[in-house]
Amino acid sequence: MSSRAVMERLMGEHRQRLLALVGLLALNLAAGAFVVRPLGDRVANVEQRGRAADATLAAARQEHAQATSALTGKDRAGSELALFYKDVLPGNLTAARKLTYPRLEQMATKAGLSVRNYRFETVEVKDSVLTRAKVEMALTGTYEAMRTFVHAIESAPEFVVIDDIGLAEGAEATRDLSLALELSTYFRSDVR
């Protein structure tokens, strides 16, 4: 018997079973195409959305950490500024005057300088809670004495800023130099 004859005989005897198998195969293919594949796509889509959500969550956590850090930094800067106002700057006009006079005159005398002129005035600082206590001094003495005085101001624990400095030769006979200084300190003008 040839293979063709065997096939025809099997088809004849088992036709209903073969048709049922072919139908089940077609149904299986249809289920795969119309049910399983869309479900697989949905699962892949859910996984992709999950990864996107994880990335969004990580970005949100990072933004939160940055915001918390900025807030902490702002709080720390605020507390350091309050400490600076309280412990470093003079508390009021009277304290600013005491810081500059007689303190600056004593420092100049100790350095070997003579104070020729001293002027104190307050200047409101625009858009600030601070007021500037401005001091102008005219001194005479040797160059070394001037260097000592400037160094004493710069290394003093009090908050005094040298805004301007001018040095000129004095009279020929004395050989002393003239020093013109403009200094400032600040105090809170909103504190009573």
Domain boundaries, the chain: 1-88, 93-188
What's the mean pLDDT in 142-162?
94
The CATH number given to 93-188 is 3.30.70.60
Q: What is the pLDDT of residue 35?
A: 77
| Helix count and strand count (H, E) for the chain | 6, 4
pLDDT in tens, 110-128: 999 999 999 999 999 998 8
Q: What is the pLDDT of residue 149?
A: 97
Residue 50, φ and ψ in degrees, nearest 5: -65, -45
- All residues at 6 or more sequence positions from 182 whose CB lies less than 8 Å from its CB, including other chains: 134, 135, 136, 162, 163, 164, 165
Q: Cα–Cα distance between 63 and 61 in angstroms, integer? A: 5
pLDDT at 139 over 70: yes
What's the mean pLDDT in 25-32?
80
pLDDT at 150 over 90: yes
pLDDT in tens, 63-89: 888 888 887 888 888 888 888 888 889
Q: Cα–Cα distance between 123 and 132 in angstroms, integer? A: 5
pTM of the model: 0.60
Q: Sign (positive/negative) of CA torsion 149, 152, 156, 159?
A: positive
Q: Of residues 140 and 77, which shows the higher confidence score?
A: 140
Q: What is the pLDDT of residue 8?
A: 78
Per-chain mean pLDDT for the chain: 86
Straight-line distance from the first to the last Cα atom of the chain, in angstroms, rounded to the nearest whole number: 122
Angle, CA of 16, 18 and 24, to the nearest 5°: 105
The burial class, CB within 10 Å (0-12 / 13-18 / 19+), for 44 is exposed
Of 16-20, 22-26, 75-79, 165-169, the range with the lowest mean pLDDT is 16-20
